[in-house]
A and B are shown apart, each in its own frame.
Chain A
């Protein structure tokens, strides 16, 4: 079950998502007439390469988790295409989806509700192997033992029930379960948000080690920028169902292009009480996703908003090599492109 990290790591596209949308109808009145939609995810386009971690950040209610569940096909997308290794999976029925589920796994946020309280830890991890008829008897037991060892749990803990474990251990069980089928991509839906900070680090490091060992790809959904900075290769920032900025980690943190990203980064706590920082406080609240503002969705809170922002929706453009932003105020940095071309493209 061991995959050597491939030489082509992080250049081969594994998952391609184009213009993914998920709208929830809002029904009203006697005949449940559809009076509008919640635009939970409104046109997401991104790619995850083999062995890469893409972070999806944004504040609560911006559609991060919906996006993750839609990619897993736990929710049917309203529109858009999802390709796994070039094969479209967005329109597949649950039955047709089954073989693809082996490559696409999930780790949930809440380690307390994501494990069935009535199954022992061993049975939880064994379940996917049984579902797919991969192993039985002695072999199954060996596999489960190996998975337990892989995530840092002891063999004798297999007979215990979820309530006997701590939050971090439960999350490890969840990770072992996700690993059982030898997936290529794991959607981590805020996997550490429910854990203590000290335990967060352990789980994040476990995820990174597993990635190195198996060449896994992660879609890492989080609202904690510090964690994302630690684990992700590239980061997509979401606001109200759309990606506003998508860049590799270094470029995003060193030169955020979107005003929202700037504000988000300025909110990250710095462990130095004397550090001088400019905190950008955004006025107002996130607008309702039922009635998103016209033009740029961020214009209601943007300190730099212009007349154009209120009317015209900015497309996601590549302003520097590998750095995409959806903002009218940023122009394409031709110098950076030229430098990249000349320097042999270090992305």
Chain B
């Protein structure tokens, strides 16, 4: 029926169009969004930009794509049945005898160790390692690209999950009110009063945290962020006449909450999302910095920052990681500001 009744409905309501225009009018936020999206999209294809395997190999009349499949060295006339090490001068020589290779822009992956350094690791920027290497001889630029990707993906996952939980919790509290609200609020006060970082450190000592463990552990505390906002919106809306009318029309509580109240509470929620995203990224960075985050060897901004701290003689570590983290957070805050202003009905744009 909705197709029929909404037949004439424009793709965007006038209000949504006004908000979009407001968002565009904020040049800083608008460009920040595009830069962020560009960086994120590029980092999603990190394997094609920074990798220790060639994108395409032509050997003996056949094409090979080592990024998607692993080929044993014997394929290229080598001796070992293990996967070919394309950075090995011997393998390079073998392939170039009967073909050619197309390398990614940065011929290092996040865990590739450059054994051919001009000076002991961490070595300064050279024409090979554009931003130098870290203390284990791994290329900093490659680690930054992969680290950016994992940080943003982690942040997005944490934001989405904690928003869903936070919205449901806030909705239940605000809609039912009374004792439900009272008890739930007290629980949240106690819960958010717990010393998060120490608990995470203790929990991280029991399990070797991977991406999903960390997500779960941080989720334990991050869901409370949105509860207050959503709760307040629901408390306000539950006495609206149209909510009462819906009740009188026999709508179930779930229908009222998610069809009638939530869409009107979404503005406040959406406004918070960019800030929650930046908060999530900071949380991961700080855990990594302290060494309780992603497992050793993972590309991580926090870990690089920590290396920068312990290797003050190698400033390229600290400076680059600082700049990248600052860039992410600045972009997100600018986007968040623009979103907030776009949803502000009183804000007038020229």
A contacts, CB < 8 Å to B: 69, 72, 74, 98, 101-102, 104-106, 108-110, 113-118, 120, 122-123, 126-128, 130-132, 136-137, 140-141, 144, 156, 158-159, 161, 174, 177, 180-181
Q: Are A116 and B250 in contact (CB under 8 A)?
A: no
- A120→B6 contact, CB < 8 A: yes
Q: Indicate if the CB atoms of A126 and B250 lie closer than 8 Å.
A: no
Are B250 and A98 in contact (CB-based, < 8 A)? yes
Residues of B within 8 A of A74 (CB): 244, 247-248
How close is A319's CB to chain B, nearest CB, in angstroms? 36
In the complex, what residues of A have CB within 8 A of residue B255's CB?
Answer: 131
B242 touches A116 (CB 8 A): yes
| B12 within 8 Å of A (CB atoms) | no
Give min CB distance, A3 to chain B, whole Å: 20
CB-CB under 8 A for A115 and B250, given A123-B2, A159-B5: no
Interface contact B249-A108, CB-CB below 8 Å: no
**Looking at the complex, which one of B5, B241, B248, B249 makes contact with A123 (CB distance below 8 Å)?**
B5
Tell me whether A141 and B250 are in contact (CB under 8 A): no
Residue of A nearest to B248 (CB): A106
Q: Given A74-B248, A127-B249 in contact, is the A110-B241 Cβ separation under 8 Å?
A: yes
Residues of A with C-beta under 8 A to B5 = 120, 122-123, 126, 141, 144, 158-159
Flag if B264 contacts A102 (CB, 8 Å). no
- Other than the known A101-B250, A105-B249, what 6 A-B pairs have Cβ atoms closer than 8 Å? A101-B248, A115-B242, A120-B9, A131-B255, A144-B5, A177-B245
How many residues of chain B are within 8 Å of chain A by beta carbon? 25
Interface SS majority for chain B: helix
Which of B4, B242, B252 interacts with A113 by CB under 8 Å? B242
Whether A128 touches B249, Cβ cut-off 8 Å, given contacts A74-B244, A108-B241, A141-B1, is yes
- Return the contact of B249 from the options A109, A113, A120, A177 (Cβ within 8 A): A177
In the complex, B232 has a CB within 8 A of chain A: no
Find residues 229-262 in chain B having any chain A CB closer than 8 Å to their own CB.
240-242, 244-252, 255, 260
A159 to B247, CA, bound (A): 23
User: A101 contacts which chain B residues (CB < 8 A)?
Assistant: 248-250
A211 to B8, CA, bound (A): 33
Q: Taking the nearest CB of chain A, how far is it from the CB of B100, in angstroms?
A: 60
Contacts of A117 in B (CB 8 A): 264
Q: Do A113 and B251 form a contact, CB below 8 Å, given A127-B246, A158-B5, A161-B13?
A: no
Residues of A within 8 A of B252 (CB): 131
Cross-chain contact B244 with A108 (CB below 8 angstroms): yes
Asked if B263 CB lies within 8 Å of chain A CBs, one says yes
Please measure, in the bound complex, the distance between the C-alpha atom of A209 and the C-alpha atom of B260, giving whole angstroms: 31
Instruction: Enumerate chain B residues within 8 angstroms of A128, measured Cβ to Cβ.
Output: 249-251
- Closest CB of chain A to B294's CB: distance in Å? 41
CA distance A301 to B304 in the complex (A): 82
A123-B5, A126-B5, A131-B255 in contact; A102/B242 too (CB < 8 A)? no
Q: Bound state CA distance, A126 and B7, in angstroms?
A: 15
| Assembly CA distance A128 to B264 (angstroms) | 20
Q: Which chain A positions have C-beta within 8 A of B244?
A: 69, 74, 106, 108, 114
Contact yes or no, A113 B250, CB < 8 A:
no
B250 touches A132 (CB 8 A): yes
Tell me the bound Cα distance from A115 to B248 in angstroms: 13
Known: A116-B260, A120-B6, A131-B250. A108 touches B245 (CB 8 A): yes
**Considering only CB atoms, which chain B residue lies closest to A74 in the complex?**
B244
Known contacts A114-B241, A118-B264; is-contact A123 B6 (Cβ 8 Å): yes
Roughly how many angstroms separate A174 CA and B241 CA in the complex, as a whole number? 11
Instruction: Provide a sorted-by-A list of 18 A–B residue pairs whose CB atoms are within 8 angstroms.
Output: A74-B244, A102-B250, A105-B249, A113-B240, A114-B241, A114-B242, A114-B244, A114-B245, A120-B6, A120-B9, A122-B5, A131-B252, A131-B255, A144-B1, A159-B6, A159-B8, A177-B245, A180-B249
Q: Which 3 A-B pairs have the closest CB atoms?
A: A122-B5, A114-B241, A159-B8
If the complex has contacts A110-B241, A117-B264, A159-B8, are A136 and B250 also in contact, measured as CB distance less than 8 A? no
Decide if B248 touches A105 in the complex (CB within 8 Å): yes
Cα distance A317–B168 when bound, in Å? 53
Chain A's closest residue to B266 (CB) is A118
Cα–Cα, bound, A33→B258 (Å):
35
CB distance from B159 to the nearest CB of A (A): 24
Residue of B nearest to A100 (CB): B250
CB contacts (< 8 Å) of A116 on chain B: these are 242, 246, 260, 264
Q: Are B245 and A181 in contact (CB under 8 A)?
A: no
Assess A159 versus B7: contact at CB under 8 Å? Given A106-B245, A116-B242.
yes
Q: Out of B1, B8, B9, B242, name the residue touching A126 (CB < 8 Å).
A: B1
Contact of A181 among B6, B7, B249 (CB under 8 A): B249
* Closest B residue to A157 using CB positions: B8
- In contact, B247 and A181 (Cβ under 8 angstroms): no
Q: Cα distance A324–B246 when bound, in Å?
A: 36
CB distance from B170 to the nearest CB of A (A): 19
Which chain A positions have C-beta within 8 A of B248? Answer: 72, 74, 101, 104-106
Q: Which residue of B lies closest to A116 (CB)?
A: B242
Distance in Å: Cβ of A188 to nearest Cβ of chain B: 12
Q: Which of A69, A140, A180 contacts B1 (CB 8 A)?
A: A140
User: Which residues in B have their C-beta under 8 angstroms from that of A131?
Assistant: 249-252, 255
